[in-house]
Each structure stands twice: as C-alpha cells, then as structure tokens.
C-alpha cells in the first residue's frame, strides 16, 4: 500500500504539504494541490484514518448499544439513529446485548477502546454505576428508552405511565370492564410504569384489578401465545387484552384465532410501540405510537452538544409524549 511519503515523492512536495492538503490545515496553491491529488489518484493512496483520528482526538464514530435485533422496535430505532448520524458524517457501530449485562459491559469497553466519540444506549439494567463510571472517565453517553435514577448524563424517555393509562382508557370508554394485562418477565422501571398506568386507570374508573387477569410471560410472539393459553386455562371471562408491547400482541392475535375466537368481535386486543408490523396484522393492531424518530433526533442533538463541549453541566431528562393509534383490533364488547 502506498504511504504518504510515496505521495509526497511522486508529487515532488514535502510530507507536511501532503498532510496540510489532506486535512485542509493550511493554504496551498492550486498547482500544488493538483499535483498531490493526481499523485494520490495514481498511487491509489488511502489515508490512515486511525492515525488521523488520534491526531484530531475525534473518530467520527458513534456506538449504539441496544438489547436485541429480534424485536422490530429496536431495529427501527437503530435505523433512525444510523440514518441521522450518517447524514451528519458519523459512522455507527451497533452492539446487541441480548439483555445480558456482561455483554453490555464488554461492548462498552470495546467501544471505549475504539475511541468512539460517543455512545447512545438502551441499558439492560436500571443500575447507573457502570455508565456513570464511563461518563466520569470522559465518555459521552446518552441513555434512551430507559428510566435510570441518579444517572450522570442525559436521557430521552417515553411517558410509559400515561401511554398505558391512555390505551386502557380507550378500552374502558368502549365499554370494556373485564380487561387482562400481559406483561414481560423483566420488571425494569419502564415496565413497572406501564402496568402502574394500567392499574391506575382501572381504579380511577372503579374497576376491579383481578390478579388472574394479569399474566407475566416470556419474550416474543411465543410469549403472547402462552399468555392467552394461561388466561383461558383459568376459565376467566374477559372482553379485552392489553399487551406490554406489539410483539406480545401479535402472538395474542395468533393464539386467539387458533382457539376459534375472533378479534375484535369476541376479544379486543391492544399493543404498545406501533412497530411497522402492527399495521399489517389481521386485524390491524390498536397500539401506542413510539416516537422513534423524535427520540433519535433529540438523543443525537444532546450527544453532539456533549461531544462539542457546548453542553451545560445539568443532566437533562426529556420525556416524550405518546399518541394512541386506533385500528381494527378494538371495538365495543358484545
């Protein structure tokens, strides 16, 4: 491979001149610039980006740490973030933790060793210690989609509590009184906020909270299907099911069809997140829209402020509002 010395020799200039032209750090005549550019082209010279990054203390690379790639929501969030960063001149390294804290620590250390300019993360835990340690060591980090108390950086969140209250209110206004709730196995703060919103809305409308109608299940569509089986094993009469997210709701729709019932004629079903698939289910899923583009835009803006050094010392917690998307999976109970 050609080196910067080879370029300088072929162009008949000093190495310093080639460096100034490559980095636009000094005025150079058009004649010399043309000679150097022709030499670069002839030799197929590729500048050493690592060396340049070390000199500039900037790699134009951002780390993105997210829980998984099987849930379309996280893929959609990653796409929004990558698109915006690419247009801003950044490359993105995406790491999937599979909700494994050890993997999260490993990836954070790898990103730190690669001198990324900053990290956007959806953490696997609500413990702030490891993130705070990295922030104190100079790494710029923005937390998204997770509520973490005492975090020493900015976070961009959704109003999970109000979102679940609103979607439960939608069912109650339709006339539903016997409503089940299907939850994930992990009790992270945002998960707790959702079920709190569900229960609070029932209580405000003087409806009973039936423990038999609250089911914790496994991740994914299979989890939704299993939860329906559990509900009907208990022979509980219900007219609506609220799901923690759209993926569980899709599994619920499938299992309800298998047992010979219809949505929404027999049972109304709601999701949460408004992933792309939710508008293509049969029937299309009533859900709560996750403002993924807004979250990506705000998070990147905060990260850029930190990278540039313009960020004030206050740690911001920005909470985004949610909007319900009413589709064909909900109606008045018979």
Q: Specify the CATH number for the domain of residue 25.
A: 1.10.260.40
Regarding whether 131 and 96 lie in a shared domain, the answer is yes
CA distances from 232 to 172, 210, 226, 258, 277 (A): 21, 14, 10, 13, 26
* Domain assignment of residue 52, yes or no: no
d(CA 94, CA 299): 16
- Report CA torsion sign: 44, 47, 48, 50: negative
Q: Give the per-residue pLDDT at 52.
A: 54
The CATH number that applies at residue 240 is: 3.40.50.2300
With the CA atoms of 174, 176, 180 and 186 taken in that order, what torsion angle do they form, in degrees rounded to the nearest 10?
Answer: 40
As a whole number of angstroms, the distance between CA 292 and CA 71 comes to 14
- The answer to whether 143 touches 121, Cβ cutoff 8 Å, is yes
Angle, helices 101-113/129-136, rounded to nearest 10 degrees: 10
Say yes or no: 41 and 112 in one domain. Answer: no
Q: Are residues 138 and 99 in the same domain?
A: yes
| Same domain flag for 197 and 266 | yes
What is the value of pTM for the model shown? 0.81
Count structural domains, the chain: 3
Based on the fold, state whether residues 192 and 304 are members of the same structural domain. Answer: no
pLDDT given for residue 116 in this prediction: 94
154/299 same-domain check: yes
Sites in the chain below the pLDDT cut of 50: 54
Q: What pLDDT does 103 receive?
A: 95
Q: Do residues 285 and 164 both lie within one domain?
A: yes
pLDDT of residue 225: 97
Half-sphere exposure of 117 (CA within 13 A, CB side): 22
Q: pLDDT (tens digit, 9 = 90+) per residue, 157-213?
A: 999 999 999 999 999 999 999 999 999 887 788 999 999 999 999 999 999 999 999
Q: What angle do CA 316, 321, 322 make, to 5 degrees?
A: 140
């Amino acid at each position: 491979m050609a080196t910067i010395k080879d370029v300088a020799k072929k162009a008949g200039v000093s190495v310093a001149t080639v460096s100034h032209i490559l980095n636009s750090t000094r005025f150079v005549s058009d004649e010399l610039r043309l000679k150097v550019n022709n030499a670069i082209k002839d030799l197929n010279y590729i500048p050493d980006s690592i060396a340049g990054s070390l000199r500039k203390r900037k790699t134009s690379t951002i780390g993105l740490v997210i829980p998984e790639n099987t849930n379309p929501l996280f893929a959609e969030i990653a796409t929004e973030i990558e698109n915006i960063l690419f247009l801003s001149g950044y490359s993105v390294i995406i790491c999937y933790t599979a909700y494994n804290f050890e993997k999260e620590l490993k990836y954070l250390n790898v990103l730190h060793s690669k001198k990324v300019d900053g990290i956007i993360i959806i953490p696997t835990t609500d413990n702030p210690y490891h993130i705070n340690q990295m922030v104190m060591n100079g790494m710029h980090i923005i937390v998204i989609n997770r509520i973490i108390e005492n975090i020493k950086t900015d976070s961009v969140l959704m109003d999970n509590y109000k979102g679940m209250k609103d979607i439960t209110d939608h069912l109650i206004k339709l006339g539903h009184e016997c409503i089940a709730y299907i939850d994930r196995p992990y009790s992270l703060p945002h998960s707790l906020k959702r079920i709190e919103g569900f229960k609070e809305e029932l209580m405000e409308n003087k409806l009973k909270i039936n423990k038999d109608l609250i089911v914790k299940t496994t991740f994914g569509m299979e989890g939704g299907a299993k939860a329906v089986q559990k509900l009907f094993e208990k022979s509980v009469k219900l007219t609506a099911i609220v799901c923690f997210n759209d993926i569980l709701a899709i599994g619920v729709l499938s299992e309800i069809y298998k047992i010979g019932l219809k949505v929404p004629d027999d049972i109304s079903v709601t999701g949460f997140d408004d992933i792309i698939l939710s508008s293509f289910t049969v029937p299309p899923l009533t859900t709560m829209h996750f403002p993924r583009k807004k979250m990506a835009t705000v998070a990147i803006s905060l990260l850029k402020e930190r990278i540039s050094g313009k960020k004030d010392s206050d740690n911001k917690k920005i909470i985004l509002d949610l909007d319900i998307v009413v589709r064909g999976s909900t109606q008045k109970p018979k």
